[in-house]
Amino acid sequence: MKMELLVEKSSKISGVVKAPPSKSYTHRAVIIASLADGKSVLKDPLNSEDTLASLEASQAFGSKIENLGEQWVVEGTSGQLETPHDVLDVKNSGTTLRIMTSVAGLAPNYSVFTGDSSLKTRPMQHLLDALKPLGVEAVSSRGDGKPPIIVKGGFKGGKTSIPGTVSSQFISSLIIAGALAEEPVELEVTGEFISQPYVNMTRDVMEKFGVKVDYDVDSKVFQVNPQTYRATDYTIEGDYSSASYLVGAVAVLGGELTIKNLFKGSKQGDKFILDIISQMGADIMVKSDEVTVKSEGNLQGIDIDLHNAPDLLPTVSVLGALAEGTTEISGVEHARFKETDRISTCSQELAKLGVNVKEKTDGMTIVGGINSGTVQSHGDHRLVMAFSLAGLKVGVKIQNAGVYDVSFPNFPEVMNNLGCKMMFK
């Protein structure tokens, strides 16, 4: 959607707001429920373009799903999947593509996945290679390790390995489908293991549906024995990734904001945003199911390693530009393989606003100081919402901004209700 979002300078904000449902948990819950034995009710799911791609893909493999808005009723396949009748277009959802590629190995015959132009740049070869020893033939149709992807069913199980440096989604994919393989699956993670919290989230959802995954920290080996997913009623928790923009807004403008449905015991890696904001100068109060942020609007630059929370890169880069001093972001080279090369795109757009920014292999160096101007989203939902924070301080126009609804469908309405000034032109 090629809409332009105008974000005007705003004053202090305050109020109480409910965090949007977690995109990551919604993806995992609907896919796992679709593999389960019986009927599950998913309460408070996120209805967004990305998560609906997982819902529709699950339907294509034989699950019957009723979308009632505030809940999804999922009739599982008991692991007896059908081969989809057509090519599956998962649009911009890398999570859907990666998890469903392994799931497709449980179906008979051939399944084909494609998506939009951004999705077709996402690396898949490590996952394709890891599936082969498990009995699944999966190939890139163009032979470049990227979508479209063709998968031939035959998930037997066995031993395999995968590098841990590109995407934790590969690991989540293999263990979710591995529980329904004929034989046990032993998965070794080689090299650095990035974004581990996302795999912890996957194991958490699997356990709620009755499947246990063992992990040996020393050898970095996952062990998944053949099991059955059991249907359950499951409530989706709030999303710390989406809440980072709410937290960021009060941090840069000043004020006090309480965000409900954020759980203290959450396994989400992006809960790290609370530590980041605290280090930059805001006050954080955490209760069991809500977070309150207080700020005077004066932030300080920090040195921060985002290797376990790569989706926070756009938010933190903009916060760094709005802070006093220098912000050093590191450990996040894998952010180059997201919807866009986020290190590059964030650097480009910050520079358009007069920010002194230096791109590094695994991050960025940002010297505080920013001007009003016009930026481009590059079709990336997280860039739209992150750069809106700059607009609240100095005024910004964001081109091709409609993509925010990939993960936070009512973002402008929520922000406006809190006192922020933003509108589409």
Average pLDDT over residues 298-315: 96
Average pLDDT over residues 185-199: 95
CATH number given to 5-20+238-424: 3.65.10.10
- Is the predicted pLDDT of residue 341 greater than 50, yes or no? yes
Q: What pLDDT score was predicted for residue 199?
A: 97
Please tell me which residue in 311, 341, 380, 405 is annotated as part of the active site.
311
> What is d(CA 291, CA 167) in angstroms, rounded to the nearest whole number?
29
Q: What pLDDT score was predicted for residue 253?
A: 96
Domain 23-235: give its CATH superfamily.
Answer: Enolpyruvate transferase domain (3.65.10.10)
- Pull the structure tokens for residue 233: 């009623």
Residue percentage of the chain with pLDDT more than 70: 100
> What is d(CA 112, CA 131) in angstroms, rounded to the nearest whole number?
15
Q: What pLDDT score was predicted for residue 405?
A: 87
- Give ranges for CATH 3.65.10.10 in the chain: 5-20+238-424, 23-235
Number of Cβ atoms within 10 Å of the Cβ of 325 = 14
Q: Which residue has the tokens 């920090």?
A: 302
Q: What pLDDT score was predicted for residue 2?
A: 63
* Cα first-last separation, the chain: 12
Average pLDDT over residues 183-198: 95
Average pLDDT over residues 87-96: 96
For residue 186, list its beta bridge partners: 159, 223
Average pLDDT over residues 332-341: 90
**pLDDT, tens digit, 9 for 90 and up, residues 247-292:** 999 999 999 999 999 999 999 999 999 999 999 999 999 999 999 9
Average pLDDT, the chain: 96
Q: What pLDDT score was predicted for residue 124?
A: 97
- Pull the structure tokens for residue 321: 């530009």
Q: CA dihedral in degrees (53, 59, 62, 68; nearest 10)?
A: 140
- Is the predicted pLDDT of residue 215 greater than 90, yes or no? yes
- Is the predicted pLDDT of residue 1 greater than 60, yes or no? no
> What is d(CA 153, CA 138) in angstroms, rounded to the nearest whole number?
9
pTM of the full structure: 0.90
Q: Does residue 311 carry a catalytic annotation?
A: yes
Average pLDDT over residues 18-37: 97
Q: What pLDDT score was predicted for residue 49?
A: 92
- Is the predicted pLDDT of residue 339 greater than 90, yes or no? no
> What is d(CA 320, CA 326) in angstroms, rounded to the nearest whole number?
7
Q: Which residue has the tokens 């005007």?
A: 8
Average pLDDT over residues 347-372: 97
Q: What pLDDT score was predicted for residue 413?
A: 94
